[in-house]
Copies of this chain bind each other. A is one copy, B any other.
Amino acid sequence: MENIASYIKEHKSRFIDELIDLLKIPSVSADSAYSQDVWNTAKAIEVKLQEAGCDLVEICETPGYPVVYAEKIIDPELPTVLVYGHYDVQPPDPVSLWTSDPFEPIIKKTELHPEGAIFARGACDDKGQMYMHVKAVEFMIKNNCLPCNVKFMIEGEEEVGSANLGWFVERNHDKLKNDVILISDTGMIANDTPSITTGLRGLSYVEVEVTGPNRDLHSGLYGGAVANPINILTKMIASLHDENNHITIPGFYDKVEELSIEERAAMAEAPFSLDAYKNALNIKDVYGEKGYSTNERNSIRPTLDVNGIWGGYIGEGAKTVIASKAHAKISMRLVPDQDWKEITTLFKKHFESLAPEAVTVKVTPHHGGQAYVTPIESIGYQAASKAYEKTFSKTPIPQRSGGSIPIVALFEKELESKTILMGFGLDSDAIHSPNEHFGIWNYLKGIETIPYFYKYFTELSK
């Protein structure tokens, strides 16, 4: 196990080249135009897992994109780690804001990544972080130091709500049987401040459509006399927050877990500079729910954000039109004890009630998932914490993330095991944004740290 650092040194350029090859395939699951690329990425992962030394590697079909499954069972009596990751990526839009082609990876130095970072869609989320596990397992197999069994479940629909992963998991309880689930699809505070994500927010994602007149109208002849679907939509969306930025959907907060003063005080100790935060985003001020700090607003509090809005004439120049329809994509981040299906129903009921007689409203749920919390007493967390201590020489800080990995709650329900979230990316890596990147130092540090998790988890399991 101790020769992992030298193994990385020896194979560094290959590790980077292999990741770059994966990043060149535009596996955008949200856009059917890329469907063949998503499949090709699955096939590429299959090959890499075989090369890493897994015994059994298969592409498991689902009603949607396939799950790549692999395993290396050294002794049924030993514990089994199930690695989850995803090979699909977010759409690159808006492409015009990328400084390089999202699917032509390049390496550039940045202030936070002086050793260079790989710029490409999926570099961090999640191809880069997923591939760290493939390389860590390659090391342990090739060096005969894999201390337990390992299974891989790499899916291709995470960025569209893991539409069919539940279907797959429900049908493969035995195949996926494990003692702990290991995922790298989150971040850490900083390269000198490792952290482990202990909480995830849930998600409810909906699309709304407001319809007024049966055709686009001339705003001169009809303006002022008929309901303008865009104006109505803005009124409806605006009313979803009150003057304190509380969400106004009746019942929305009923089940929200309220943290104790002690817990909030502990959170407040995580290093955070509001000025640095504002400077990084070039904003004059933060904005959010009254009575909560920035770190609380984006982790322990539920939110409602419009992710996209469109209607009417959005081309060059001017068109004096009243659109027949206006649309928005809206997502709500949820916290422990909020049920995403219940929240989706509350939203639908409330949003439809906001519409005046003059328009009709359609609310279409996209997908969702439950929030999740990892107990820091679990041996999984303890093993991860010791692994970071070994390679970072620092005890990682347990941290609630604002993000969502909907399937983590599903795993607990279906597979009855806890998930450990070992993230090596940084918030500034711009996942879901133009110019997404992943530090080479972080990539290699992940490969170095992961084997120790296997070591300590096996020891603590005895």
- Enumerate chain A interface residues (CB-CB to B < 8 A): 29-32, 90-91, 93-94, 97, 159-161, 187, 201, 203, 205, 207, 212-228, 230-235, 237-239, 241, 281-289, 294-295, 297-298, 301-303, 305-324, 326-329, 331, 333, 356-360, 366-367, 401-404, 427, 430-435
Q: How far is the CA of A32 from the CA of B93 in the complex (A)?
A: 24
Nearest chain B CB to A228's CB is how many angstroms away? 5
Are the CB atoms of A30 and B224 closer together than 8 Å?
no
Using A227-B283, A401-B220 as known contacts, say yes or no to A90 and B319 having CB atoms under 8 A apart: yes
> With a CB–CB cut-off of 8 A, which chain B residues contact A283?
212-214, 226-227, 358-359
Q: How far is the CA of A283 from the CA of B325 in the complex (A)?
A: 12
9 shortest interchain CB distances as A-B pairs: A220-B403, A30-B317, A224-B303, A227-B287, A308-B312, A238-B238, A287-B358, A214-B282, A225-B298
Could you pull out 27 A-B pairs where Cβ atoms are within 8 angstroms?
A30-B319, A91-B313, A91-B319, A93-B319, A159-B319, A203-B320, A215-B430, A217-B281, A218-B432, A221-B427, A223-B402, A224-B301, A224-B402, A225-B295, A225-B402, A226-B288, A227-B283, A234-B306, A283-B359, A287-B358, A305-B322, A306-B312, A308-B313, A318-B367, A320-B331, A320-B432, A321-B433
Are the CB atoms of A432 and B309 closer together than 8 Å?
no
6 extra interchain contacts, Cβ-Cβ under 8 A, other than A218-B431, A219-B432?
A218-B433, A220-B333, A225-B402, A227-B287, A309-B310, A314-B327
Are the CB atoms of A309 and B309 closer together than 8 Å?
yes
Q: How far is the CA of A282 from the CA of B217 in the complex (A)?
A: 13
Q: How far is the CA of A430 from the CA of B235 in the complex (A)?
A: 27
Nearest chain B CB to A98's CB is how many angstroms away? 11
Give the residue of B219, B305, B358, B359 whose beta carbon is less than 8 angstroms from that of A307. Answer: B219
Using A212-B283, A223-B402 as known contacts, say yes or no to A230 and B306 having CB atoms under 8 A apart: yes
Nearest chain B CB to A73's CB is how many angstroms away? 35
Q: How far is the CA of A312 from the CA of B305 in the complex (A)?
A: 11
Most buried by B among A302, A306, A358: A306
> With a CB–CB cut-off of 8 A, which chain B residues contact A282?
213-214
**A232 (CB) vs chain B CBs: closest residue:** B287
Give the residue of B91, B286, B333 whose beta carbon is less than 8 angstroms from that of A223. Answer: B333
Are the CB atoms of A333 and B297 closer together than 8 Å?
no
Most buried by B among A187, A329, A435: A329
Q: How far is the CA of A218 from the CA of B288 in the complex (A)?
A: 16
Q: How far is the CA of A295 from the CA of B228 in the complex (A)?
A: 16
> With a CB–CB cut-off of 8 A, which chain B residues contact A234?
233-235, 237-238, 306, 309
Are the CB atoms of B213 and A281 closer together than 8 Å?
yes
Nearest chain B CB to A337's CB is how many angstroms away? 17
Are the CB atoms of A306 and B433 closer together than 8 Å?
no
